[in-house]
A and B are shown apart, each in its own frame.
Chain A
Amino acid sequence: MFFLVIKRILLGLITLFIVSLITFAGVEVLPGDACTTYLERQAFGQALEACYDRLGLNVPAYERYISWAWGVLQWDFGYSLSGEMKINEVLGPKVKNSLVLASASILIGIPIALLLGIITALWRDRLPDIIISTVTIFSMTIPEFISATLLILIVAIWLEWLPGIVIVPTEASISELLPNIILPVIAISMIMTAHMARMVRSSVIQVMASDYVQMAILKGVPYWKMVFRHVLPNALLPAINVVALTIAWLLGGVVVTEVVFNYPGLGRLVIESISNRDLPVVQALAIILASIYVGINLIADLATLMLNPRLKSLQIKK
């Protein structure tokens, strides 16, 4: 058991290592380097030299990788190309804002998804299921930028209930952010919630058809007791990992949604840094987002390990 946990953590770290290699190599392999890309037509002579110097591009690639990776481990991503700003100073508050948005979406999305998934499974092929399943198919398929745009059009412009565009500074506190994130949270969690609800539904249906649930019914276990003791623990366990993958997908949605709502998070930084071809920032973003992804999956893996009696018993035997 302990060994398994260590193994998962190691695998996560290896994944992150490969990600860092990929992002680093990706930038290296693509035509041009950070300076020529950034300076475009002015990429010659002194300007280029100065840029090379500043980024330390005139040393061999592997040395640059090592020093970069060492910096990353200490939350130091070097300097951005555009300004003389240290990247971590720019990133800090934006990471926080994005995390607020993402966690709010997750915290709201997961319970709703569980509820919808369980309802649709238990009332399978009956009216509640048909209605909810149809709605989830629609909300699952519509891209975030469309739902976000529609939300702004309907709720903010036509009904005038909530602000459509976020106009708070990056350093705003959470309480200042709150009224502004309602619409973005809805837009982000729509796809994720619909996906998770469908997964929970099919998982519950599968367990409901199992021999042990039939046995519980034949044992005379009352319906709701059966659902909570015999069905849900077994149905939700395999769903944890898939939910984690869905959450990871949500990171992409966050970027788009933040742009639509003008939200001061990582999303806008992504677009800006890419438009400005600010590769050091892009690298930093890639490694941060990948860490979040790996972290979420690791938590899901560990949770499954802790909750699964089959794996728990490994501990007893050893």
Chain B
Amino acid sequence: MSNKKEKQKNIFEKIYEVIKTMASKPSGLIGLIILTFHVILAITSPLYVPYDYKAIDPSLMLTPPSSEFWFGTDSLGRDVFTRTILGGRTALTVTFFGSLIALLWGGSLGIFCGLVGGKIDDVVMRIIDAFLSIPWILAMLLIVSLLGTTTLVLIPALGFFYGKGIVRVARAATHDVIAKDFIVSARARGHSNMSIIWNEILPNVRDAIMVEGAMRWSWMLLGFSSLSFLGFGVSPPTPDWGLMISNARGLMSFAYWAVLAPIFGLSSLIIGINLTADAFAKALGIDRSTKAPV
């Protein structure tokens, strides 16, 4: 159908427009560059890493940075540069898919609650509130310790816990929209509920939910790396920034490089995602600074 094609073209145009607006401010541009850099690095790094990330060589223990080992070596003699550029892969994948899951279930439940209102809405929100009041770290640790630390556990678990906040945002956005006259108009015309949700509500809450999802991504990354820092994330010897920091921390008084390299990697990625999310929100006309990180 020609209509559909046009719509797709419109969406691409819109994405292009949004990215252009995002890049028009220095902070947005920096964020986009950092994020793109990290994504490319995560996809392509296995092709050109200089050393084997799990090659242990006791003779090279804690070598300071040199032309041979750019970021030095760690306590097991592994090349820190290799491990640093590989260290974001798991974090990025897990949190990206985790945010997608959070977006999906949080968004749908939120829209549902906003739509039905009344008693059902009250009960669901009470339960969400209860989940919110258990500190995320405790809940995550419990799940991970009981079910293991595979990505298959981590992605849905993170997705679940970070979706709670999206429920609230989606619900509030839906509440705002359904009071509008164009929804009343569609109801009065006699459109079906599904058609109203799909055609009238979704396009108007989509932006708010997507911005929320982008924000969740950066918080999820923070949460995920905290987990792996505590030893409940990625299992060794897979390189991961949180784990690397945790391992190298004890020796940082004489081998600071082994700590600083992963710190730099992780911080730059989080800042990149944050700046991008900020610019994204601004490009879509949503102020995100009033949101609390829950």
A and B touch in the complex (CB under 8 A): yes
Contact A259-B137, Cβ < 8 Å, known A145-B245, A157-B253: no
Q: Is the CB of B259 within 8 A of A153?
A: yes
Cβ of B183: which chain A residues have Cβ within 8 Å of it? Answer: none
Q: Is the CB of B146 within 8 A of A141?
A: no
Q: Is the CB of B126 within 8 A of A146?
A: no
Contact A143-B222, Cβ < 8 Å, known A137-B275, A157-B253, A203-B290: yes
1/0 per residue, CB under 8 A from A, across B257-270: the answer is: 00110010011001
A275 to B130, CA, bound (A): 25
User: Does B1 sit at the interface, judged by CB under 8 A?
Assistant: no
Chain A: minimal CB distance from B180 (Å): 22
Binds B, one of A42-50, A173-181, A221-229, A282-290: A282-290
Cβ of B230: which chain A residues have Cβ within 8 Å of it? Answer: 256, 259, 271
User: Does A308 sit at the interface, judged by CB under 8 A?
Assistant: no
| Size band of the interface chain A makes with B | 35 or more
Chain B: minimal CB distance from A287 (Å): 9
A294 to B126, CA, bound (A): 12
A30 to B253, CA, bound (A): 42
Q: Is the CB of B266 within 8 A of A146?
A: yes
A297 to B132, CA, bound (A): 11
Binds B, one of A55-63, A89-97, A182-190, A241-249: A241-249
Q: Is the CB of A15 within 8 A of B126?
A: yes
Q: Is the CB of A141 within 8 A of B267?
A: yes
Q: Is the CB of B293 within 8 A of A37?
A: no
Binds B, one of A1-9, A18-26, A69-77, A309-317: A18-26
Q: Please provide the chain B residues from 75 to 132 with a CB less than 8 Å away from any CB of chain A in the complex.
A: 126-127, 129-132
| Size band of the interface chain B makes with A | 35 or more
Cβ of A14: which chain B residues have Cβ within 8 Å of it? Answer: 126
Binds B, one of A80-88, A106-114, A193-201, A211-219: A193-201
Cβ of B225: which chain A residues have Cβ within 8 Å of it? Answer: 143, 145
Contact partner, B226, options A144, A157, A243, Cβ 8 Å: A144
Contact A277-B135, Cβ < 8 Å, known A153-B259, A246-B292: no
User: What is the chain A residue whose CB lies nearest that of B218?
Assistant: A141
User: What is the chain B residue whose CB lies nearest that of A242?
Assistant: B292
User: Does A255 sit at the interface, judged by CB under 8 A?
Assistant: yes
User: What is the chain A residue whose CB lies nearest that of B232?
Assistant: A274
Q: Is the CB of B229 within 8 A of A145?
A: yes
User: Does A202 sit at the interface, judged by CB under 8 A?
Assistant: yes
A249 to B138, CA, bound (A): 12
4 tightest A-B CB contacts, nearest first? A18-B130, A245-B292, A252-B137, A293-B133
A116 to B93, CA, bound (A): 36
Residue of A31, A37, A153, A246 with highest tally of chain B CB at under 10 A? A153
Cβ of B135: which chain A residues have Cβ within 8 Å of it? Answer: 248, 251-252, 255, 286, 289-290, 293
Q: Please provide the chain B residues from 239 to 294 with a CB less than 8 Å away from any CB of chain A in the complex.
A: 242, 245-246, 249, 252-253, 256, 259-260, 263, 266-267, 270-271, 274-275, 278, 287, 289-294
User: Does A128 sit at the interface, judged by CB under 8 A?
Assistant: no
User: Does B33 sit at the interface, judged by CB under 8 A?
Assistant: no
A271 to B137, CA, bound (A): 10
